[in-house]
């Protein structure tokens, strides 16, 4: 009868380690990787060379809609071309929490913390030609415009983002509008203006998150930590935004 391998042998330990590593890589690809106790927190997609799951990124891009619309919207159909757009984006060091944004975009851990202060205006990136037809659909027009605002911010199309945002100014709460406007100012490189906008939206989880980010980039770790703590108390731990906030909290 063939004996079972002793689990303490080097070969068995290597196999166990390989299996564990493969499992964690699969989790990272799905955007469901959670840190072990005592492990450095990693944002979704932070492992070099691992592609972002477009479906998970789309889900996270809608996270802010409930607060912005005052109610949870029905699922918004994905904009055509989203998968290619997501994979074509570069890595952002400072990712504000806003509609159309997703935490996976901060995918290079080694940019931190220098990248927070070195990042200025978001330059023109990949375009999404299908966006205009998608956003003009008669159903869920406000939600679509919010997401389109974020997509244009990520792609460096600031004027178009501004047009989409102001077209629905009267349809969303003032605090939500200020949060989205702050994200646009941040994308333009106007960090002080962005922080002023987010202060007007204080109380919303995403505004608190963004104030933490703004103060972190400004070098005020204490103020940043307070705002991140407030934000994370209202962001589910299952969300990638929660994981990204925890990562930012660890920067000192």
- Predicted confidence at residue 127, as pLDDT, reads 76
- Predicted confidence at residue 91, as pLDDT, reads 78
- Predicted confidence at residue 193, as pLDDT, reads 95
- Predicted confidence at residue 9, as pLDDT, reads 54
In SS3 terms, the chain reads as CCCCCCCCCHHHHHHHHHHHHHHHHHHHHHCCCCCCCCCCCCCCCCCCCCCCCHHHHHHHHCCCHHHHHCCCCCCCCCCCCHHHHHHHCCCCCCCCCCCCCCHHHCCCHHHCCHHHHHCCCCCCCCCCCCHHHHHCCCCCHHHHHHHHHHHHHHCCCHHHHHHHHHCCHHHCCHHHHHHHHHHHHHHHCCHHHHHHHHHHCECEHHHHHHHHHHHHHCCCHHHHHHHHHHHHCCCCCCCHHHHHHHHHHCCC
- Predicted confidence at residue 25, as pLDDT, reads 53
- Could you tell me the domains of the chain? 44-87+95-249 (1.25.40)
Ranges of residues in the chain whose predicted pLDDT is under 70: 1-50, 108-111, 113-115, 117-120, 124, 252
pLDDT tens sequence across 30-73: 445 544 444 444 444 444 445 788 999 999 999 999 888 877 77
- Predicted confidence at residue 42, as pLDDT, reads 46
- Predicted confidence at residue 250, as pLDDT, reads 84
- Predicted confidence at residue 40, as pLDDT, reads 46
Indicate the pTM of the whole model: 0.78
């Amino acid at each position: 009868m063939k004996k079972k391998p002793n689990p303490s042998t080097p070969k068995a330990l290597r196999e166990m380690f390989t299996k564990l590593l493969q499992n964690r890589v699969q989790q990272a690809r799905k955007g469901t990787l959670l840190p072990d106790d005592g492990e450095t927190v990693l944002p979704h997609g932070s492992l070099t060379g691992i592609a972002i799951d477009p479906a998970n990124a789309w889900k996270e891009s809608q996270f802010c809609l409930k607060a912005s619309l005052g109610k949870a919207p029905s699922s918004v159909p994905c904009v055509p071309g989203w998968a290619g757009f997501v994979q074509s984006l570069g890595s952002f060091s400072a990712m504000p929490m806003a509609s159309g944004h997703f935490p996976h975009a901060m995918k290079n851990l080694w940019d931190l913390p220098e990248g927070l202060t070195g990042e200025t205006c978001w330059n023109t990136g990949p375009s999404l030609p299908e966006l205009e037809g998608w956003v003009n659909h008669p159903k869920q027009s406000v939600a679509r415009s919010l997401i389109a605002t974020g997509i244009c911010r990520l792609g460096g199309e600031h004027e178009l983002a501004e047009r989409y945002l102001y077209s629905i100014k009267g349809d969303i709460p003032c605090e939500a509008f200020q949060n989205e406007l702050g994200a646009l100012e941040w994308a333009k490189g106007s960090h002080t203006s962005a922080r002023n906008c987010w202060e007007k939206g204080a109380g919303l989880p995403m505004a608190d998150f963004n104030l933490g980010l703004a103060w972190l980039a400004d070098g005020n770790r204490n103020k940043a930590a307070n705002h991140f703590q407030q934000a994370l108390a209202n962001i589910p731990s299952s969300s990638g935004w929660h994981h990204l906030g925890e990562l930012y909290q660890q920067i000192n």
